[in-house]
Structures are given as structure tokens and as C-alpha cells.
């Protein structure tokens, strides 16, 4: 029997779909079978006929679940979906394991093998083609700049007209990861005067290569693998104070600092919001139920302050560009599934440096050490190391000598 990948329709507030017809066609040509729930791709403008033409079978939800070797989802599926799944089936998607450990426990109890993109070790080069967080952040940063231009009450570029000259908008992007760099590049192409801020001094070259001015504070937050580290409370206060000066000089502020599974850092304090001039626009890409980068931001809402500034909770930007976002998400899913396929079967090497961390659960056990730490479980050691730890010194010497 071939590996069967099933794709389900997402919740009503999600426009993306886990597999695009283009990627389905490639999977089918590689001898995978694909089942797609009816209308699963309609909100991303992928009609059922496109999936059928790509070689998939369009079925009802129950058939898609029952027939799946692995279910591909954008977001955490509903409890009703999990209830219909069986022991030994697999699930891949953005499953929010670090913030919803009860969901993880339910998957483990049912012995469902769950791969969660939030757990992917992003500093491992082999994992780059699997990195959903990066691919979706790229979409979000681009869309955030477009949204900013649409919401802003003035022109983005300098405009010279018979009635006079309009000055270009000043745009400040806080955080220069994947989303931030896309926002900087897009805002620059729209003609704004753009600055990029980051606590990592090494980001200067990337920001300036996009034609923007690089800003930083006296607080350096460079961390492992080029990512930003968590700041101490004292460093955070100093950073916020110095940032306030930059914020006051700009018309549009796009914030992009997200920490998967944790509350995002507050970059724009209530004081900065209160002192913002009328018409100032804040686009908060980190806005979620966990909080946001801008004080007072609310997910999927636009808040107008007493002083006439606007705060847009823009945590769903990838969903607002669903066709492109879905196609990139699908390629990440394809990369993972291809990586764990051997001789026509899914093989989960729990000691592999990528798969072992990507796996939230396997055969009823919590696998990822990052997740185990969040759940206050002891570190899981590779099988070989665990065996060495149980050996006596004499046994270890005999093994080293090859003695039976």
C-alpha cells in the first residue's frame, strides 16, 4: 500500500491549505496517494478540480481521516478530527505544542505520531527546506508592508504634483528576521524612507543591502545560530527606552518579533503609543492571544487610540495571502515527508538531529527535548548514549575492546 497523505479543510478563520495542487502533482508522481477533503483549498483559490487534475482524490472528511497514513494540516486540527484518528497514524502541521500541552498529551495517549513545525531545529542546514516558520514569515512581512501602505493616511513615496510635493512616509521595521527583511524590502520598493531595527548588530549588512538605514540600541541580543536571545528585564527596559526615540520619529512602525510558544516581547510601550502623533500606524505581526509587540494590540482588530494613532493586530498575514503561503507551506510539508520516507514507508528516526526534534510524539512518547523541557520532563537521550549511561565501567571497557 502506498503512503496516503490526507489534507483537511482548515478552520473558518484560516485561508491556507496544507498542500497545493502543484505539490500534490509532485507527490503523486513520486508514488504517494493524496486524499483531499472537499473544498479544502477553496479559500486559497485552489478548486477541487485542480486537485483532481493533479492526481488526488477529493473525498469527505471522514474518508480522508480514515484513509490517511499521514494528515497534513496548517494549524492544530479540532478535537473531533483527533477523535477520529487511529493509533499509528501521523500528523504534521503547526500544532502549537509549546502552548497547548493538553493537545500533545491527547496525541500521545492515542499513539498518534505528530510532527510539529514549531519544534524544527532551524539552525540545522538540512532543515531549511522544511522551515515553515521562515516561509510563512516571508509572506507575512511582505503582506504587512502592503497593509501598512493601504492603511496609512498619506502617500508612501515622495510624490511631486502640480499641487506641490508630498514627503515620503518614514517606516520603521522592528526586528530584521525573515519577516522584517521582507517588510523592509517591500516598503522600500513602495518608495518609503525605511529604517530597520534589531538588537543583533550583525543584522546591519542585511538591512543596508535592502536600501534601508540600520538602527540598534546599546543592548546587544545576539544569540546562538544568529537568532536573537531573550533579554533580561533590565535590558528590556533599557531597550524600550532607547527605542521610544526611534518610534517617535516615524510614521509607520511594523513589529515582527515573535518567539514560538512564548509571549512575544513588548517593543512599543504604552508610553510610546500614548505619545505617538496623530496618524501614526502600528502594524503588529506578533499580535496573538499570547500578546503582541505593541501595547494595546489585539489580534485581528484595529485599535484607534485617543491621540489618533492606529494599532493593527496583524498576526494572520500569511493567511491573507493564501495561495502563495499555501504553496510554500506545501513545499515544506513535502520536504519533511520525503525525508522520512524509506522504501515506501514512513520511518521516524527519533535519534536524528532534525526528525528527533520535529517529532512531538511517537508511539505514545513525548520525543522532542525542547517540548519535554517545556513540559518539565527529563531530557530524552539517544539510544546509544542511554545504553552507555547504564553500563558499568568494566562493560564499557569491554565494548571498546570489542569483547563479547
Pairing of strands 164-166, 159-161: antiparallel
* Distance in angstroms (rounded) separating the CA atoms of residues 84 and 104: 16
Question: Starting from the edge strand earliest in sequence, which strands make up the sheet with 170-174, in order?
Answer: 213-215, 193-197, 170-174, 252-255, 281-284, 310-313, 302-304
Strands (E), 145-276: 159-161, 164-166, 170-174, 193-197, 213-215, 252-255
What is the helix (H) or strand (E) element at residue 75, kind and residue range? Answer: strand 70-75
Burial 122-148 (b: 16+ CB within 10 A, else e): beeeebeebbbbbbbbbbbbbbbbbbb
Which of 149, 5, 1 minimizes the C-alpha distance to 72? 5
Which of 223, 302, 235, 309 minimizes the C-alpha distance to 265? 235
Burial 378-400 (b: 16+ CB within 10 A, else e): eebeeeeeeeeeeeeeeeeeeee
**270: its cell numbers:** 504604552
Active-site positions read 122, 128, 131, 134, 227
* Distance in angstroms (rounded) separating the CA atoms of residues 34 and 349: 24
Write the DSSP symbol of residue 232. Answer: P
3-state secondary structure string, 329-381? HHHHHHHHHHHCEECCEECCCCCCCCHHHHEEEECCEECCHHHHHHCCCCCCC
* Distance in angstroms (rounded) separating the CA atoms of residues 235 and 229: 11
Which residues lie closer than 8 Å to 165 by C-beta, 6 or more apart?
158, 159
Amino acid at each position: 500500500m502506498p503512503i496516503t497523505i490526507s489534507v483537511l479543510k482548515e478552520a473558518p478563520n484560516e485561508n491556507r491549505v496544507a498542500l497545493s495542487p502543484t505539490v500534490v502533482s509532485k507527490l503523486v508522481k513520486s508514488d504517494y496517494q493524496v486524499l483531499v477533503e472537499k473544498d479544502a483549498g477553496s479559500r486559497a483559490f485552489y478548486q477541487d478540480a485542480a486537485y483532481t487534475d493533479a492526481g488526488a482524490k477529493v473525498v469527505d472528511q471522514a474518508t480522508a481521516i480514515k484513509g490517511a497514513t499521514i494528515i497534513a494540516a496548517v494549524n492544530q486540527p479540532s478535537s473531533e478530527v483527533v477523535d477520529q484518528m487511529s493509533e499509528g497514524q501521523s500528523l504534521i502541521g503547526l500544532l502549537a505544542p509549546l502552548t497547548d500541552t493538553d493537545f500533545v498529551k491527547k496525541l500521545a495517549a492515542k499513539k498518534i505520531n505528530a510532527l510539529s513545525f514549531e519544534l524544527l531545529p532551524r539552525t540545522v542546514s538540512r532543515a531549511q527546506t522544511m522551515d515553515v516558520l521562515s516561509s510563512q514569515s516571508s509572506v507575512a512581512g511582505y503582506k504587512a508592508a502592503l497593509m501598512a501602505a493601504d492603511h496609512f493616511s498619506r502617500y508612501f513615496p515622495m510624490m511631486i504634483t502640480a499641487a506641490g510635493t508630498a514627503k515620503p512616509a518614514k517606516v520603521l521595521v522592528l526586528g530584521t528576521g525573515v519577516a522584517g527583511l521582507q517588510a523592509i524590502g517591500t516598503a522600500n520598493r513602495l518608495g518609503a524612507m525605511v529604517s530597520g531595527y534589531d538588537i543583533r548588530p550583525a543584522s546591519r549588512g542585511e538591512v543596508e543591502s535592502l536600501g534601508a538605514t540600520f538602527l540598534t540600541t546599546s543592548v546587544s541580543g545576539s544569540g546562538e545560530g544568529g537568532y536573537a536571545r531573550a533579554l533580561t528585564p533590565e535590558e528590556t527596559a533599557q531597550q524600550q527606552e532607547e527605542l521610544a526615540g526611534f518610534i517617535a520619529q516615524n510614521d509607520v512602525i511594523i513589529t515582527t518579533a515573535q518567539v514560538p510558544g512564548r509571549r512575544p516581547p513588548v517593543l512599543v510601550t504604552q508610553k510610546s503609543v500614548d505619545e505617538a502623533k496623530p496618524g501614526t500606524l502600528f502594524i503588529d505581526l506578533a499580535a496573538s492571544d499570547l500578546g503582541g509587540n505593541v501595547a494595546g494590540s489585539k489580534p485581528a482588530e484595529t485599535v484607534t487610540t485617543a491621540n489618533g494613532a492606529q494599532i493593527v493586530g496583524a498576526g494572520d498575514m500569511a493567511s491573507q495571502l493564501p495561495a502563495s503561503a499555501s504553496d510554500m507551506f506545501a513545499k515544506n510539508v513535502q520536504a519533511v515527508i520525503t525525508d522520512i520516507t524509506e522504501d515506501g514507508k514512513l520511518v521516524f528516526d527519533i535519534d536524528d538531529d532534525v526528525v528527533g526534534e520535529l517529532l512531538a510524539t511517537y508511539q505514545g512518547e513525548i520525543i522532542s527535548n525542547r517540548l519535554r523541557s517545556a513540559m518539565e520532563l527529563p531530557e530524552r537521550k539517544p539510544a546509544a548514549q542511554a545504553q552507555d549511561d547504564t553500563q558499568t565501567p568494566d562493560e564499557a571497557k569491554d565494548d571498546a575492546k570489542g569483547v563479547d
